[in-house]
Structure 1
Amino acid sequence: MKYIPLSIPNFIGKEKEYVLDAVESTWVSTGGSYIIRFEEEISKYLNIEKAVAVQSGTAGLHLGLKLLGVNPGDEVIVPTLTFIAAVNPVKYLCAEPIFMDCDDSLNIDINKLEEFLKNNCELTKEGLKNKNTGRIIKAIVVVHIFGNMADMESLMNIAEKYNLKVIEDATEALGTKYTEGKYNGKFAGTIGNIGVYSFNGNKIITTGGGGMLVARDIKIAEKAKYLSTQSKDDSLYYIHNEIGYNYRMTNLQAALGVAQLEQLEKFIEIKTKNYKLYKELISEIDGLRLLNFGQNTRPNYWFYSLFIENDKISRDELLKKLKEKGIETRPIWYLNHLQKPFEKNYAYKIKKAKYYWEKVLNIPCSTNLTEEDVKFVVEKIKKSII
């Protein structure tokens, strides 16, 4: 039986050459030329001054929140509809998340965010105070869901108005950028105070594991590198003046990343082509449609979200039928404000997130997906709902 996975890596470039070169150099751990090269080439691609290679996107988010001044007892605004890794680092710092709803793009609902800040918070000399809890809200984590850019212009205006720091979780959005407006040409992850990318195995490019942190302020990026390498002040005599972390990417991972980055624009072309073909074919099936990506952007089209309007079949029934036909699909993450570790945290008017969680199924989107594969998937979807 033919099997089509949801999202797998695509090694069509110099991955083997670079990784073997790193092995032969014996620099396989958290030092080596490929780490520096990967950072430099990511910086060049994103048109920024400095990038810091880290162990994972989660590690980058943890460092980012810490560097933006989130302290124990503070609060951080996060979306409920996202992978839990965007939320867990808030707890690492003994701070508390406040959960926000999504809009029809699946990204954070800007209108509800502003409504919450206006009606529930007040600016004080200590910062923005949550009138319900008495805690200071330090930052917003905005996630560009499935590579779809959130409304950063509105979000940054709100952040400035309420004196909030912004960390962009661009772990799914490497390559997504604005093509019009105030941030024309700016990539996801380079607009807020800090941006974080992930190179997990299912991302548009992969290092197996690993991530990258970028910052508008180069001093913050430099401090992130310092903290990620165990806050080493003297590498010979092992002097450490701050608590640090073992968060540095390995040279082997970076070698893979350099080769993958060389293919990124090609991968985006493939993702775009397959998305458009899916969209055209699925539009002919009553009760189903692919969710759109934002206007005024060039998305990376990382994941394709099938919206099930058809009452004849549920999300889970369709998932099961497609699995039986050799097609791997995935529901959206379970909403974070309902997760056991966050049950007691405040969630503001969550409605659309629950609606989309029940109705959306992610369908195969690998960059090695052929036109024949796309047609095969759609045909099996069609037969599953008849």
Structure 2
Amino acid sequence: MLPTSFFLLISPVQSLTYSSSLAPSSLVCKMNVSENAQKLHSKMLEYAPSHLFDQEQLQEMVNITSPVEFMTLAQELVNSNLVKLMKQGDILKFQAKAVAEANKISAMSNDEVMVYSYIEASGREGIWTKTIRAKTNLHQHVVLKCLKSLESQRFIKSIKSVKNPTRKIYMLYNLQPSIEVTGGPWFTDNELDTEFIDSLLTVIWRYIASKTFPYAFQPPSSNVNVVQSSYPANHTGYVNLDAAMEFITSNKITNIELGIGDIRSLCEVLVYDDKLELINGTMDTYKATWQSVLEAGYGRSYLEEGSKYADMKSVFENPSFSIFENNSVVVQEEDEGAEDMVYLDSWIHQ
């Protein structure tokens, strides 16, 4: 319920009580305020719209020491809907309203103001019509009439919540619903858009895989080492979240606005699917797994091409030679076919 009386804390030992006339009930009052009231309102507008002032701050702004004089200014501004009274704990606070907003409220009926105030207080979460009825204690017919009037003037709008799709929720017309209400970019018409998610997962995986295995998505060629299609272990040019975000934005993959958190969520899904790995020692840099490349139908030509090269296994299994011994000599085997064996030095320099 809206309060019927407001208290100004003048000093620790003195308080004044505003009667219900301070509440926005005198809505038909024209915005005729004194010069001092205009000056105070202008100074309040220099701060952020959400800024809350206490009485001492406002008195200092216009250099007023008399509580009675300040009460008169506050009365003018509240009656003209230029100032909104709010309670923060047990302390009364003042919030400036723009002139356009004040004019809008002044044109409403008392019931409409009451309904509008609760919708405004709900912010980007919105408020259910049943909750409005409970808070205002107005008849359902009156509430619906107020909502229809406010909506027709584009002061409010109805939205749908993914958590409660059957409820009719209202919020201010100029606000965007929060992610908790809309479900974020992954929901379309209050339903999980699996097709959109899958397409983004594919795009991100393909981009990261191309930066992990640069030759895996093209046929083997003479100038490509087919047995080494990945980067060396000390490579640092893998894809981080910022790079993935830039790729999606610059290539206009989607017209839905995505944030870094959304890209991170997609990458985490790919990690759970064993398609990506988080680079050790990093928080947001990823590389693709070779298995995911093979499962997607790429990279197999490199396996086939690599098998055409000479099998070096017999060389390393030669018991007469060890790479861990200095100045070791390879004993030439007399077995059949030994003359066809190619050793490392001659193989490199051939």
What TM-score bracket applies, with the shorter chain setting the length? under 0.3
So what's the TM-score if we normalise by structure 2? Answer: 0.24
So what's the TM-score if we normalise by structure 1? Answer: 0.23
Report which structure shows greater RCO (CA 8 Å, sep ≥6).
1
Larger Rg: 2
